[in-house]
Structure 1
């Protein structure tokens, strides 16, 4: 009997061939993707239904609001018929779905332009804020959490640990709009260092990005610190120290890569929340994004525009969550796909 007949194929469980292992993992991947995509489909149906019904639950006549109180009832009725608002609710719902499939979200009552055009104009400003805030969060939270863990490891520097946990916990629970108001008062009103509102240049990004990111920096750094304390207590870190490796090499080469998985996962989930969190921050800083748009559309009962913005917000969160799930599987397929 040859050696190849005795030894199982390397990398294939239970002596199975690499081709059968690929088939097993291929089947697991197919099951995983089918399950996630089916959940995404159900979530989209719920999202669209909620967007359609929620705005209609607000009291008031959108056509009357758009035309003004001086418009005659005949003009109002004619406009309602033209917009299809005189149809039964179920028929409006079906038409709404038909418009989604054809890429037609209707025309904004208040702005008198296609909703897709408004979204295309306002979405980049919101994405800029959210992505910049996420970059700032991770750029500060990961090193702060890692350094704090290194300094307070093993119960050392109790005063630093107490001060850090107290300050970071306090900042993490402050709402973004309160942070924004405080930043405006200090940097715009008192010292006149930065613009109060608008999107006029690089300096106009500083305050809204800080308002969105400060709470996240505090919260994510606490999670990174907890993960780092666990990683720094592992056997391979002790072995690295026993070999007299430099602290910089231990932290950068061994500890940091093990923190990036959880940090990037949290960052992806935070990005979805940041998009929703921009609503109040954009309103405070008069930022021309989707946040101000949805506030104005709800005030005017602008059905098409409000529905479009809600769907864009919801789809972004759902897609970010899906991407995070897929990245987790790529990083750790055995645990994510249920392989022991």
Structure 2
């Protein structure tokens, strides 16, 4: 075996290298599937998508010209290759309605959606982790059955209510009846409160339940019992020995919740007239502006894939043994 071959074999034997190759390959395959699905979207629509977008009264010459400008008269493989090239060069096409580049439309709306999703995720974590951990400590060993029942019932109910229904209820109570917050729009710090809470409460309830269960499990672990036997302060036992172990499952679920939050912004943004991608994709579907719909679907899908990758990397860093076992 040559030196180069031995070096390559040693490099591939590293579990972190195999982890990176495996996750990177999975990401590339998922991106390819996402891009292909977005491309086929416009071709799976019954009838002529250009005629549907322009309306039945549009002149035939205009429909033909628009089809030619969109490249829909080319063979399907040629269209696919052009679409792939456009995606990787940032050219997602042109909006049928506004005639603006799709990338420009997305660039104008994406920051508002990201703000809403990231703030909601942060609020969900800030609520769920301390509440779930505290309930785990308080109800360990079957203690405080009443508090456990109240917490479980409340969290299940809050987690089952759709975000847009919470949004409508918040608008009616806190904006219309009490006048504490703006009814809609993105006009200042106070305008963020209701949509962020509408998005965060359900995920926070689900995450708090998971956090409590994980905390109960960790509190029975040997290292926590050893820490108690050493008569360490209770706060140190819970924060330094129990909480880090319980956070692993919370981070996993938190990543899934962040992915769901990005998708959940669609309905909440429409409830609060939020100027983000959620309202844009709904109006584009109604206007049959398919290039914009394709572009936003790509952004949402890519966001979910990136979040899942970040969760995998974070878990690997927190628990390297899992990477070695998987490898």
Same fold (TM over 0.5): yes
Matched, 1:231 2:208: no
1:70 CA displacement: 4.5
Corresponding position of 2:298: 311
Is residue 62–residue 300 contact of structure 1 (8 Å, CA) maintained in 2? Answer: no
With over 3 angstroms needed to count, the CA separation of the structure-2 counterparts of 1:123 and 1:147, relative to structure 1, is: same
Name whichever of 223-232 and 44-53 sits farther off. Answer: 44-53
With over 3 angstroms needed to count, the CA separation of the structure-2 counterparts of 1:94 and 1:25, relative to structure 1, is: closer
1:329 CA displacement: 1.7
Matched, 1:292 2:279: yes
- How far apart in 2 are the matches of 1:240 and 1:256? 13
Matched, 1:41 2:9: no
Corresponding position of 1:136: 123
Corresponding position of 1:240: 227
Q: Report how many aligned residue pairs link the two structures.
A: 320
- How far apart in 2 are the matches of 1:235 and 1:69? 72
Corresponding position of 1:115: 102
With over 3 angstroms needed to count, the CA separation of the structure-2 counterparts of 1:85 and 1:222, relative to structure 1, is: same
Which of residues 154, 164, 167 is equivalent to 1:177?
164
Is residue 290–residue 309 contact of structure 1 (8 Å, CA) maintained in 2? Answer: yes
1:292 CA displacement: 1.0
- How far apart in 2 are the matches of 1:280 and 1:181? 11
1:299 CA displacement: 1.7
Which of residues 325, 328, 331 is equivalent to 2:312?
325
Is residue 16–residue 323 contact of structure 2 (8 Å, CA) maintained in 1? Answer: no
Matched, 1:280 2:267: yes
1:200 CA displacement: 0.8
1:132 CA displacement: 0.4
1:61 CA displacement: 4.5
1:288 CA displacement: 0.9
> Structure 1: 5+ residue runs without aligned partners?
1-19
Q: Any idea what SS the aligned residue of 2:190 has?
A: helix
1:80 CA displacement: 2.0
Corresponding position of 2:74: 87
Corresponding position of 2:154: 167
- How far apart in 1 are the matches of 2:255 and 2:42? 29
- How far apart in 1 are the matches of 2:326 and 2:66? 60
Q: Any idea what SS the aligned residue of 1:337 has?
A: helix
TM-score (norm 1): 0.87
1:68 CA displacement: 5.0
Matched, 1:253 2:262: no
With over 3 angstroms needed to count, the CA separation of the structure-2 counterparts of 1:46 and 1:160, relative to structure 1, is: same
1:45 CA displacement: 1.3
Is residue 38–residue 297 contact of structure 2 (8 Å, CA) maintained in 1? Answer: yes
Name whichever of 26-35 and 272-281 sits farther off. Answer: 26-35
1:55 CA displacement: 4.0
Corresponding position of 1:27: 14
Corresponding position of 2:256: 269
- How far apart in 2 are the matches of 1:62 and 1:197? 33
- How far apart in 1 are the matches of 2:11 and 2:218? 32
1:133 CA displacement: 0.7
Corresponding position of 1:6: none
1:338 CA displacement: 1.4
Corresponding position of 2:288: 301
Corresponding position of 1:203: 190
What is the Cα-based RMSD across aligned positions, in Å? Answer: 2.2
Which of residues 118, 134, 138 is equivalent to 1:147?
134
Is residue 130–residue 271 contact of structure 1 (8 Å, CA) maintained in 2? Answer: yes
With over 3 angstroms needed to count, the CA separation of the structure-2 counterparts of 1:158 and 1:24, relative to structure 1, is: farther
Runs of 4+ deviating beyond 6 Å: none
Largest Rg, 1 or 2? 1
> Structure 2: 5+ residue runs without aligned partners?
1-6
Name whichever of 135-144 and 235-244 sits farther off. Answer: 235-244
TM-score (norm 2): 0.91
